[in-house]
A = this chain, B = another copy of it.
């Protein structure tokens, strides 16, 4: 099995994704939100690229649909929830359809549509994602959402963590140099938080007063579920 890594949503090239197992990562915070919401009983997540599309979709899905996401890290006007995983508790998401649009994460999901399987990864469910990767037994590309089309330390180390979880389960792996480097960065910073503090994105999260979100998004193995994106929906 080969594992490759794409550093941001802007760097996705179809030939790198096609027919593979894609793992989309936007640990601060889109893929942590999706994982948390589904784990708390949300029925499905529908990622869309624009606010307009979100407002259209919410009508299509009817009364059980809720709106979540962010622009510049902040809640969008008229939306029910922001991009904070802490808001997506069981009492508000159970049985609901979450229509979601974020700056980086939803673009990375949509950009990976030619993959055979699309998994949603985060630190929260890293072990479960690795389990699923082994089960699918196909070449893997880890797609980092990045931040505004740039390489982002948070997603890179999260990728390294997931690669490391796969290595614990499977000996015969071929990593590209990008994947090897991500695993190295994780392996030398296993607490994750210490290194994420060097990320530009971390500074933005702190400016917005989202320290609790940050702490939560760095927790390993608290979710056993692996969200999968198929035909426009994450289940």
Asked if A198 and B180 sit within 8 Å, CB to CB, the answer is yes
Q: Which of A164-218 contact B (CB under 8 A)?
A: 176-178, 180-181, 184-185, 188, 195, 198-201
Partner of A151, one of B152, B178, B184: B178
**A233 an interface residue at 8 Å Cβ cutoff?**
no
Partner of A200, one of B152, B156, B176: B176
Asked if A156 and B181 sit within 8 Å, CB to CB, the answer is yes
Q: How large is the interface on A (under 10, 10 to 19, 20 to 34, 35 or more residues)?
A: 20 to 34
Q: In the complex, what residues of B have CB within 8 A of residue A180's CB?
A: 153, 198-199
Q: Which of A124-164 contact B (CB under 8 A)?
A: 147, 150-153, 156
What is the oligomeric copy number? 2
Q: In the complex, what residues of B have CB within 8 A of residue A151's CB?
A: 5, 7, 176-178, 181
**A87 an interface residue at 8 Å Cβ cutoff?**
no
Classify the interface of chain A: helix, strand, loop or mixed.
helix
**A113 an interface residue at 8 Å Cβ cutoff?**
no
Q: In the complex, what residues of B have CB within 8 A of residue A156's CB?
A: 177, 181
Report A127 CB to chain B, min CB distance, Å: 24
Report A167 CB to chain B, min CB distance, Å: 13
12 new A-B pairs (CB below 8 Å) besides A150-B178, A188-B188? A150-B176, A151-B177, A151-B178, A151-B181, A153-B181, A156-B181, A177-B198, A177-B199, A177-B200, A180-B198, A181-B185, A184-B198
